[in-house]
């Protein structure tokens, strides 16, 4: 399995539901504490914890392929809340420092922007 951004090898690991921070070991230890909700952005459905949702607009828009000075689109209202969130398996790119699910969102955003 390769990283969709840098093509490097992915390390498979346990992850929490959040696409942005779910790869961090401390998130697995706190699996029941944050609320996890789904959102639609860049034509993709993503899962974010309440912390990453609140902080999403602090991401660099250029990382998502947007032009300098362009803001990230709003997440809008959540589509649904996850009930009984569980750990899963996903790839992690040590070079990009993100989990595969988040990197797939970035790739889709870049493709839309080009």
**H-run or E-run covering 48:** strand 44-49
To the nearest whole number, what is the mean pLDDT of the chain?
A: 93
The whole-number pLDDT of residue 29 equals 84
Beta bridge partners of 80: 38
Does pLDDT of 33 surpass 90?
no
Residues 6+ positions from 88 with CB-CB distance below 8 Å: 14, 15, 17
- Dihedral, CA of residue 26, residue 53, residue 80 and residue 76, to nearest 10: -170
Does pLDDT of 34 surpass 80?
no
Tokens of 70: 């362009």
How far apart (Å, rounded) are the C-alpha atoms in residues 95 and 79? 31
């Amino acid at each position: 399995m390769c990283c969709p951004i840098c093509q490097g090898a992915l390390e498979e690991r346990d992850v929490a539901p959040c696409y942005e921070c779910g790869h961090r070991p401390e998130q697995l230890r706190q699996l029941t504490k944050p609320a996890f909700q789904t959102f639609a952005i860049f034509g993709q459905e993503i899962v974010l914890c309440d912390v990453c949702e609140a902080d999403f607009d602090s991401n660099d828009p250029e990382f998502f392929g947007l032009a300098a000075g362009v803001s990230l689109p709003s997440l809008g209202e959540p589509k649904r809340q996850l009930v009984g969130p569980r750990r899963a398996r996903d790839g992690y790119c040590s070079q990009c420092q993100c989990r595969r699910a988040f990197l797939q969102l970035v790739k889709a955003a870049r493709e839309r922007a080009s």
